Structure 1
């Protein structure tokens, strides 16, 4: 008599879930799709978050002094004075006043090409680069700029706040999408396990007749579904890595210079980095383990109902 609890005898017993069953292949492809969607969601969140952090850091390293034209004031003299005040402020690396041509270039995307802006009294800007964003004395700079009529300091704090809010919203949305995908995976595994149990009810009854415990039967299903989850997870994870690689190549080759630059600003050339790749690799065993655990719990409940 075969002892189903003995490991050597278990090797001789045919698996309860056939390795090439249609249900097994279908579930494997389903797990692969869910893993792919999870990895793409995680990768997209990682890309946008990394870009948002880079944007916030870039914005935080610069402040802008705006000088509006004022009757009776010499603009060039005010620009030189603003540069001098900024460079004497602790934490400032250097200050540079934008020329007329550079100021006009900033307005052309909104006002269009071919416009003569020389007759317009447009504000002038002084770009201040900070050597120590955390240690720069912005209060002193703002206070000393009051000596220049029409001068104001913009620290871009509002932009940084909006970027941080956007990044946080994307992260929370990505987590919610991941949870929904995992929930859908759990439901699919539950239905697949119940269907497999129903189709193999005779085999389960025979195993019980020869003395197999519910723990043994559940372990057989759990091991089988773990392999299905691993195979599907690897397929989905590799496909996601290929997707990001392919997207980066296509973006670099097919999109024109301006559009490609905008995509790079948003997603950083689709470069996941070590953290993004590690996260995708980690998702694979997580989904495989979730598949195995869900099938094990479902089998135990099914067996408890028929016992």
Structure 2
């Protein structure tokens, strides 16, 4: 039997309370992320904080970023004006949440976007971090986005990356049998318990590690038992091949609205807590919203063997 040992969330306290941190700027993608978050939480007692990270003007000036401006003073004034316009846009978007009776407040920090998002999330003990897709904004980086990648690697809570606004009617949960995957199922089960979208649990029997039929069968049974506890009748799918390739095929065929997976599938020490390569590849390669779940680093995770599941 799998032991429950996952991220302590307000969501698990029975009162359906959630605290969500949404990273925002003036970019359309991040504003969409804020609207999407309010849509997800319409059945919850929830609170949303919209975090805008202002550039450190002193640091940017020291690095010569004000070159296009005539003086450092002009640069400072331009940066402050941009920050004020962004804050006004965030406040306007928060009205969407308030219209759905979800408290939403703008929060401003100064510094490196990834570091500040992680710091605020930890200090505020938020239940989830929400990021918009990369665009013409301070959240932009290479491929997935430098900010996104850093947060995915180091966040101590679920991270939801959004790419477009679409109602969540079909969810794919990638399940490999870890406690992290179990935590993802419980999180999604509670989050969508009232909306009741179709949930497909997909287990890939990985040929490169010669996964046994027995292990694959037990994985699917454990996942089904967990999600049925929240009133869902899941679609069960087993595939054979490469983990990422098979999941991308499934998304293409059925056009899922959300992909959910654990950040890692093996027991990780607190010094080796980075997201698995497979999870990061899936986030990079799909054009669907992805929720990456992880348990807190200060609590022990269970390996498949400790869960009572035979090794692959």
Scaled by the length of structure 2, the TM-score of the pair is 0.21
User: Which structure: greater helix fraction?
Assistant: 1
Greater percentage in strand: 2
Per the normalisation by structure 1, the TM-score is 0.21
